[in-house]
Amino acid sequence: MKKILKIFIIISILMAAGGGAAVYFLSKGGDEVSQFDSRRHLDQSDQEDSHAYRFETDSLATELSREGENKNVMNFDDGDFFTVAYSKSSRDRLDRLIRRSNPDFEKPLIAYNPFGTLPNTYYFYFKTQSPCMVRYTITVEDEKIPDHIRYINNGNTKNLGTEHEFIVGGLIPGMRNYIVLELLDGNGSHREDITYKVDVPDMQSPTRIQHERGKSDYRLENGLFFLLPKNDKYIYFYDNNGTLRGCMNTESEHGGRVYANDSHVIYQTAGTHVVRLNRIGQVEGVAIFTGIRQILDFAYDDYENVFALIQNGKRYQVVRTSMKGGKTELVYTFEKGMKPTSLSSVVSGNLYVSLSNPMGIMRIDGLLSERPKVKLVVGLKKDWKKTTLKKRVIDPTAPKKKKKTEDDKDKKDDKDAASGEAVEVEPEQKKDLPLVGWNMNESVLSLVRGESNGTIDTLTFAVDKGRLIHAVKLQIDSKKKEAKLLFQKETEFDGKVFVQWDPSGHAIVGNGTRGTYEERDGDFKVTREFTYSSGFDGVWKHSLEGMCFYP
C-alpha cells in the first residue's frame, strides 16, 4: 500500500510540474503574440527609425519592368476607369492570368495599377504552400526618410493564409523605391523575403512637406492624411512624417470628403459622381446624380445609398441615388431662405445637416422612407421662430422645465411641486454655451462614429466665434431632446477649418485657407503641425486597418 501511495505522489508531482511548464510556455507564447501585436502597431506608425536599405540592396533587387525583354509587370489599357464595367473587365483579366500562370512567391503575378484608380501602385498575387502572412516595406536610399511598413490583411483567422492578393502602395514619387516583400508566421517571425526596385515619376504635389513637433509628447495615430488640394484632381496621401505616399485618381475633381470603412473607400470623382473602391482599388459601385449641376457635399450610409446636398435655383435640397445606378430622388427640400453648409455621415437612416441661416443643426430621419422628416433642430429659438420647424427646436441656452420633488415640500412653492406643475429653471451659467456667438457659414460636420449610436450622437465641426475659429464637439440626445457641448476651444485665427475627431480622443484640424493641418492629442495639445504648399478643400485621416492592413 505504501509503495502504491509513493508512486501516486511521484506521478502527482510530475503532473504538477508538467502543468506548470505548460502554463509557462503558454504564457510565454501569449507574451510573444502580445509583443508581436505591439511591434506591428509601431511598424505601421511611420514614426520608427527603421531603415531597411543597405549598400547591397540595389544590386540584389529585382527591377519591376513594364516593357522590354525583362518585362515582369502586366499593363492594362486606358479606359473609363470609374465604371463598374471597366473594373470588372480588369478583374476578369486578372483571374484569367492567375489561372494560367499559377503564381508563387518566387514568381508572383504583378500588374501596374490594374483598375486605373491608384497611380504608382502595384498589384501582387501569389500562393504559398503553407499558411503565412505578408509584410511589405518601402525603403529608399535617403536615411532621413523612415521606412513605410504595412502588414497585409487577408481576412483570415490570425491573418494566415495560402492565397495572397494585395496592392503595394506607399511608393515615394520622384525617387527609386525598394519593395521588400516578406512571408511571416503567426508570431511575426521571418520565413522568406524578396526585394524589388522601381523608379517612380514625380507628381504635382510636393514629395515632402514641412512639419514641426507641438507641445504634446503623444505619438500620432496610425494612418495616412488624405489631402484634397484646390485646383488639383488628385487626392494625395501623406504619412506622419509629411512624406507623400501616393494618390487616388479622379475623373475631373475630388470634392471635399473621403470616407473609409472596413471594406471600402468612398469619394467624389466628378461634379456629380461618387465611387466606392475596394481594398485593391477596384470600382465596386458608382453613384451618378442626374438632373443636378454640382454636389456641394455628400454622405454615404455604408450600404448602397449616397446622399448629396445640392442647390436647385434659390432653394437647397438633399437628393439620393444608389451605387447600383438608378434615378436621382428628392429626399428633402429646405425652406426658402435656409442655407445648409454640410452633411454628416448617415447612421441608422438618419442624417445631420449644418446650417448657417438659420444657424444650427437639423436631423432628418427616415431617409429611405416615402416622407423623410426633420426629427429635431439644435438652434436658438429666436432664429427659427419664422420657420415651420420652430416646435422641433432644441435650444440649449433656453430655460429648462423641471418638476420639483417631495424634497421641496418645505419650500415656498411646495404646492406647485405636489401638483406636478412644471417650473422654469435657468440653465447653468457656463463660460461656453452651444450656439452663443457662433457663425456656421463654413462649418463642415463630421460624425464621431465611436461615440454615436443613433440615439446619442456626437458631432464635431468648426465655428467662427469672435473673429476666431473654434473646434467644437457637440453631443445630441434625440430621446431626451438635449444638446450638450462637450468641447469648444480656439484653434485658428481665420480660414475654412476642418475638424475630425477620432474615437480614441485625437483630433485632426485642417485650415484649408492657410494650407496647414495638425494632429492634436486628447488634451487638444498639438502633436505635430504640417504646412502644405497651397490651400485645400479637405483633409481626413484614415488608417485603412481592417480594410487593407492588419491592425
**pLDDT tens-digit profile of 250-303?**
999 999 999 999 999 999 999 999 999 999 999 999 999 999 999 999 999 999
Position 401 scores a pLDDT of 66
Residue 386 reports pLDDT greater than 50: yes
Residue 312 reports pLDDT greater than 60: yes
Q: Considering only CA atoms, give the Rg of the chain.
A: 28
**Distance of alpha carbon 300 from alpha carbon 159, whole angstroms:** 29
**Helix or strand or coil: residue 28?**
helix
**pLDDT tens-digit profile of 491-547?**
999 999 999 998 889 999 999 999 999 999 999 999 999 999 899 999 999 999 999
**pLDDT tens-digit profile of 325-371?**
989 999 999 999 999 999 999 988 999 999 999 999 999 999 999 99
Please give the mean pLDDT across all residues of the chain: 91
Position 466 scores a pLDDT of 87
Position 449 scores a pLDDT of 85
Only one residue has cell 515615394, namely 172
Average pLDDT of span 93-101? 97
Instruction: Say if strands 373-379 and 393-394 run parallel, antiparallel, or are unpaired.
Output: parallel
**Distance of alpha carbon 303 from alpha carbon 322, whole angstroms:** 9
Give 454's pLDDT tier (boundaries 50, 70, 90): confident
Residue 383 reports pLDDT greater than 50: yes
Q: Please, which contacts does 229-234 make with residues 24 or more away whose CB atoms are closer than 8 Å?
A: 229/205, 229/532, 229/534, 229/535, 229/536, 229/537, 230/512, 230/534, 230/535, 230/536, 230/537, 232/204, 232/205, 234/119, 234/203, 234/204, 234/205
Residues 6+ apart with CB under 8 A from 201: 120, 173, 174
Residue 2 reports pLDDT greater than 60: no
Position 24 scores a pLDDT of 38
- Helix then strand then coil, % of the chain, to nearest 5: 15, 40, 45
- Helix spans in 44-142 (H): 57-60, 84-101
State how far the alpha carbon of 410 is from the alpha carbons of 147, 405, 413, 417, 519, in Å. Answer: 72, 11, 8, 10, 54
**Distance of alpha carbon 58 from alpha carbon 177, whole angstroms:** 10
Omega cis (within 30) before 358: yes
- The torsion of the CA quartet 514, 515, 520, 524, rounded to 10 degrees, works out to 10
Give 310's pLDDT tier (boundaries 50, 70, 90): very high
Give 21's pLDDT tier (boundaries 50, 70, 90): very low
First to last CA, the chain: 60
